[in-house]
Amino acid sequence: MAKNFQDYYLNTVTQRVGANMYSDGVRHSLALPYSVFEDQRSGETLNILQKARIDGEKFLLSFINIAFISLIGFVFAVVYALTVYWAIALLYVLIVIIVGSLSSILSRKIKIIQQSIIRETSALSGSTTESLRNIELVKSLGLADQEVGRLNNSTDKILALELKKLKYLRSLAFVQGTTINFLRTCILFFMLYLIFNRTITFGEFFALYIYSFVLFGPLQELGTVINNYREAQAALERYQKIMGTALEPTPVSAPQIGDLREIAFENVSFKYPSASHNSLEDINFTAMVGETIAFVGPSGSGKTSLVKLLVSLYEPRNGKILYNNVGSLDIDKRELRKQIGFVTQDTQLFAGSIRENLLFVNPSATDEELLDVLHRSSCDSLLSRSDVSTGHANKGLDTVIGEGGVKVSGGEKQRISIARALLRKPKLLVFDEATSSLDSITEKEITSTMRAVSEAGNLISILIAHRLSTVMHATRIYVLERAKVVETGTHQELILKDGIYKAMWREQIGERT
């Protein structure tokens, strides 16, 4: 019973430590700058946090079960040996030092191998995630066998490293066991010598011999503890690298910007850390509440970079970005982002009901608020179809969408995304290529929805688009080319100019000269 209680409380403590470690890692990771994640493979951070938790728990469990018991046995044996003959106690201490040092030196190679295993495992996790995420492409092109082969290559590398580690572990166990048995035999002969020399009695010899099992028995398991330590050390180094990464800077006494009424870019230039040239150069514009500002241009002109600066994922290299006349470096970005609604090209919906997808951004919203934003986003037909498919009147909000539920089209996904953005009651609403992957009919419907939302007049609307038909209603349109603003005006003003906008318009609309 005592053993059961010990195991219960020991497992409770170690799992609580692991859970706290994982929670701290997640909390810290979510507070890191966006740039940390942009170049990472999918699932890499999650793999590091999970590995650190698992290996940390395993080491802590083995340490308490083996090393802690060994320590108690060591202290008991040494104290008793001191009462019999001091030299025996000294030998006990030397044996522990020799075995511990030898195991530590020989196990360094295990740490190096474990680091390689973790790297390969992280890469495999990322590759698998990417393959499953792009399963439609993989299946459509018949690339399943190719992907299996690619993933198997990574698995084979990990297997080879694991076998290599196993070989070192067996070698370590053999050397450690041989050393312990040799030293144990030496101390046995030494005590026999002391008996014949009448330094100790046979009873004391027998007692010391029995007590030596308390010391040498757990020492045989020291290799397991050291292996777990090396594995945990390799995992915790990567974990510590995450925890040691500087958080996104937040001013100590950031001024309250209040409701967002104005955004201004003043001579803003930006370059990615790994890029050789600027993504944006000398950008100037102002956006006020009630205005709809559009940015258009060919691919690679800097539209996506501008959005990342706009929502403060990056800071400009030169110039200033002002929110209500407060610089981006001086504000609390969390306060700013609570006022932002975002609709992207690749709509991210979660497996679950329509209600759950909307409540993700505003958990306290009422059903009336949910239905209101769905109506404003032209989702009434989706709710009606949902009611019919479920067979329950007035329960469209609880209808599961996606896998295992109602299948929604690309346009319906975008409408839900718009509704989700509106539920935040944003002061800045960003549409980033929101219709680029839709057909022309659906695009027209979504554009009508976007226009109705923008014309409400209680927020700043920013449109990023390649299709010019979606920005015709904008208050001002900025045309980007090669990182610079080359034209500015309304739709009517720009098509009267003989510039890039007119050329793009004629190409897209099919106007003949």
Domain definitions of the chain by residue range? 2-114+169-243, 262-349+430-440+457-509
Please give the angle made by the CA atoms of 316, 320 and 325, to the nearest 5 degrees.
Answer: 140
| Residue 448 in tokens | 């009508």
440-478: burial string, b at 16+ Cβ within 10 Å, e else = eebbebbbebbbebbeeeebbbbbbbbbbebbebbebbb
* Contact in structure between 171 and 106 (CB atoms under 8 Å): yes
Q: What is the pLDDT of residue 394?
A: 45
The reply to whether 2-114+169-243 and 262-349+430-440+457-509 are identical in fold is: no
Q: What is the pLDDT of residue 115?
A: 81
Q: What is the pLDDT of residue 3?
A: 62
Indicate left, alpha or beta for 38 from its phi (over 0: left) and psi (-120 to 50: alpha).
alpha
What fold does the segment set 2-114+169-243 form as a domain?
ABC transporter transmembrane region fold (1.20.1560)
The CA-based dihedral angle spanning residues 385, 387, 389, 392, taken in that order and rounded to the nearest 10 degrees: -170
* Contact in structure between 126 and 44 (CB atoms under 8 Å): yes
- DSSP secondary structure, 427-463, as one string: SEEEEESTTTTS-HHHHHHHHHHHHHHHTT-SSEEEE
Q: What is the pLDDT of residue 108?
A: 79
Tens of pLDDT along the chain (513 residues) come to: 656 776 777 788 888 888 899 899 999 988 888 888 877 766 778 888 888 898 888 888 888 877 777 777 778 888 888 888 888 888 888 888 888 788 778 777 887 888 888 888 877 877 777 777 777 777 777 778 888 888 888 888 888 888 888 888 788 778 888 888 888 888 888 888 888 888 888 888 888 888 777 777 777 777 778 778 888 888 888 899 889 888 887 777 878 888 999 999 999 999 988 888 889 999 999 999 989 999 998 888 888 899 999 988 899 999 999 999 999 888 888 888 889 988 887 777 777 788 888 898 888 888 889 988 888 887 877 777 654 444 444 457 887 776 666 777 777 888 888 888 888 888 998 988 876 666 676 677 777 777 777 777 788 999 998 888 888 889 999 999 988 999 999 999 999 888 899 988 888 776 444
Which are the contacts of 491, defined by CB distance < 8 A and separation ≥ 6?
A: 468, 471, 472, 473, 474, 477
Q: What is the pLDDT of residue 405?
A: 65
Q: What is the pLDDT of residue 267?
A: 93
Alpha helices in 31-134 (DSSP H): 34-38, 44-62, 69-84, 86-106, 108-133
What fold does the segment set 262-349+430-440+457-509 form as a domain?
Rossmann fold (3.40.50)
